[in-house]
Amino acid sequence: MRDTYHERLDAVTDQLVDMTRIVGSMMSRATQALLYSELQTAESVIAADDDVDDANREIEQRATDLIALQQPVATDLRIVVGSLRMSATLERMGDLARHVAKVARLRYPEIAVPEELHEVFREMGSLAERMIEMCGSVIADKDVSLALQIEQLDDRMDDLHRQLFTTLVSPEWKHSVEQSVDITLLSRYYERFADHAVSIAKRVVYLVTGERFDELPSVP
């Protein structure tokens, strides 16, 4: 009974980590589809979102069964409840990767992002990938120090997000309104993705320490 109990609890955590892998792969491919105008890559991201939705539903089912059958308390219960919250967050991160892929598909065979902004989006994509990968490690290993690093990467993402808006409203910006709209939304998708990664990190810190992240000292 005890084994089954912990196996079930671990299965929920394992599936969360799986979700981070799927979502990370989606965001990586979405960035590639966006910058290299790859239609099939974009389609694969859009299709993969169903897997994330399925995983989210499965985690809810597993968590509900686990609560009903094995009545976890204290830390275990907090882990189960936290997993429900985190899987909902990961589901939204999958949506954001899908949104990026949809912009890529919409503009195909054109490229939504003007040449001079490719480097910024490449960095945003790379940050997003690192952050979700770190989320996977944070969930798997309950690593609080790594959770704090995720917030540092988010600061960089925010900088890039602001930088893009500054570029858009500068007199040098000569592109169409359509491109302005695309860049506005794309930038927001990456920025939101990063925010969600931070919320997962905060959640794990709370699980481990019992303290809200906001009250913790930030890493230097």
Nearer to a copy of itself, 4 or 180 (CB): 180
Burial class for 138, CB neighbours closer than 10 Å (0-12, 13-18, 19+):
buried
Contact pick of 1, 2, 3, 73 for a copy of itself (by CB under 8 A): 73
Q: How far is the CB of 17 from a copy of itself (least distance, A)?
A: 20
How many of the other CB atoms lie within 10 Å of CB of 129? 17
Question: Residue 84, interface with a copy of itself (CB under 8 A)?
Answer: yes
Contact pick of 11, 185, 208, 216 for a copy of itself (by CB under 8 A): 185
Give CA–CA dist 30/102, Å, rounded.
Answer: 9
Cis peptide bond N-terminal to 109, omega within 30: yes
Contact pick of 107, 118, 122, 188 for a copy of itself (by CB under 8 A): 188
Site map (CB under 8 A) of a copy of itself, residues 139-178, x = contact: --------------------------x--xx---x--xxx
Report whether 87 contacts 11 (CB < 8 A). Answer: no
The token pair that represents 48 in the structure block: 């993969």
Q: How far is the CB of 67 from a copy of itself (least distance, A)?
A: 6
Stretch that binds a copy of itself, among 6-14, 78-86, 110-118, 137-145 (CB under 8 A): 78-86
Q: Name 76's Cβ contacts closer than 8 Å, sequence gap at least 6.
A: 9
N residues, the chain: 220
Pick from 22, 154, 189, 145: which is nearest to 90 by CA? Answer: 22
Footprint of a copy of itself (CB under 8 A): 60, 63-64, 67-68, 71, 73-74, 77-78, 81, 84-85, 88, 165, 168-169, 173, 176-178, 180-181, 184-185, 188
